[in-house]
Amino acid sequence: MILPYIIKSALTLALLYTCIMPLLEKETFHRLNRIIVLGCLLLSFIIPLIHFTGGTNQTIDMVRQAVQLPEILIDGNANKQSVWSLTDILICIYTLGGVAMLSLTAIQTMSLMLRLRRCEHITDNKGNVIVLTDYATSPFCLFHYIVMSHDDYANNRCFVLTHEQEHIRLRHYIDLIILQFATIIQWFNPFVWLIGKNLKAIHEFEVDESVLNKGIDATQYQKFLVVKAVGNRLQPFANNLNKESLKRRIIMMNQKRSNRWMMLKALLVIPVATLAVSVFANGKNVSETASETHPQTTTQTKIHDAVEEMPEFNGGQLAMMEFLMNNMKYPQAAVKAKQQGKAVVGFVIRKDGTVSDVHITKSAGHAVLDEEAIRVVKAMPAWKPGKQKGEPVNVKYSVPITFKLK
């Protein structure tokens, strides 16, 4: 299910960021820091997908009862339950936020590209396209485009081109694309915004170091940065000169290079990632022999309480709940008699996926309610069967159904 994965991914990123970034952000190993930041982003999406099983020699006692599905509530007045559970609401909010972020990104990018098409274009000696605007703008680069005003091209061409060409040479735009997609997926997570801020600062540190290594005077370069540190970034994939991290950049340029032994701090990624895997990975500790701890009479009739690969309703659990709620009808006789109650219906998903052995394991207290619950469960279409050791098997289930009048 998407919601647990997103939550685990966000928590993984939070753990990696809080444990690793404070130790590395003041070091001058900009390339290494860049790799680590991108690694943290990618690991936050990979770790929750990791699936492992416990050792085959490990014995796990399985609960001797059928898997119980979420409760279904049947409203006697509406004659069916609203499908808007808390999970549904959270998924809806998350989806709306993601769509809004994606739309904003697309609108900003397309709007900027349309504006740049109307400007003057020049190709530099490295094959990049210089876009000259008629209005004052803070210089920035977007993919292989370098955007600056005519005034900057006339007066600050050397500084601007050297700086922006380094952003392009170092392919910082690839990092920003990865970052933007991560931000769209985890828009609600403050740590994705913090790690994005750090990544963009690292980009500037890396470029500043490269520019100064080309022999440009540090004092003049820093004065240029102060003068040009105005305006905001126009769109998410652009590297630009701005005042947001200017103080940190000047401090970093004047800072003594970190001792190479400090690079060993990066090894902290290994234990932190291992911790994240142990906490957030999708582990399964069911032994291969677990299903044999409660043997039945014959292999053909064996009914399992839980298996390695559980049966699945077509469309998932939410689709199954929606099917039951849409097909369940509050009996009119029960409405007139003001009868309410909670019935627990047991059933078996057979090897071929069919629903069988439907019965009441706990009565609602009124036969008419029990009969309606049994009727709808029997009407369920075939499921994807469960499997143990790769073979289809029979699996028990139960579902609580509450009939309630308002």
CATH number at residue 360: 3.30.2420.10
Mean pLDDT, residues 166-173: 93
Q: Is the pTM of this model over 0.85?
A: no
Residue 213 and residue 319 in one domain = no
Looking at the fold, whether 193 and 316 belong to one and the same domain comes out as no
The sheet carrying 129-133 orders its strands as 120-123, 129-133, 145-149, 140-142, 238-240
Residues 338 and 237 both lie in one domain: no
What tens digit of pLDDT does each residue of 225-279 get? 887 765 444 456 666 555 557 778 888 888 888 777 777 877 888 888 888 888 8
pLDDT score of 267: 83
Does residue 60 form part of some domain?
no
Cα gap 161→352, rounded to integer Å = 67
- Say yes or no to pLDDT of 380 above 80: yes
On whether residue 59 sits in a domain, the answer given is: no
Torsion angle of C-alpha atoms 236, 238, 240, 242, degrees rounded to 10: 0
Place of tokens 């396209």: 129
Asked if 264 and 319 sit in the same domain, the reply is no
What is the C-alpha separation between 205 and 30, in angstroms, rounded? 7
Residue 57 lies in a domain: no
Q: Last residue of some domain: 279, 310, 337?
A: 279
In a domain, 302, yes or no: yes
Q: What are φ and ψ of residue 175, in 5° steps?
A: -60, -40
Q: Which residue has the tokens 């291992």?
A: 274
Give the confidence band of 359 by pLDDT, cuts at 50, 70, 90: very high
Task: Say if residue 116 is in the same domain as residue 225.
Answer: yes
pLDDT digits (tens, 9 = 90+) for 277-286: 888 776 544 4
* H helical segments located in 255-366: 269-280, 317-327, 332-336
Per the structure, the complete domain to which residue 350 belongs is given by 67-73+290-404
* Whether residues 382 and 269 fall in one domain: no
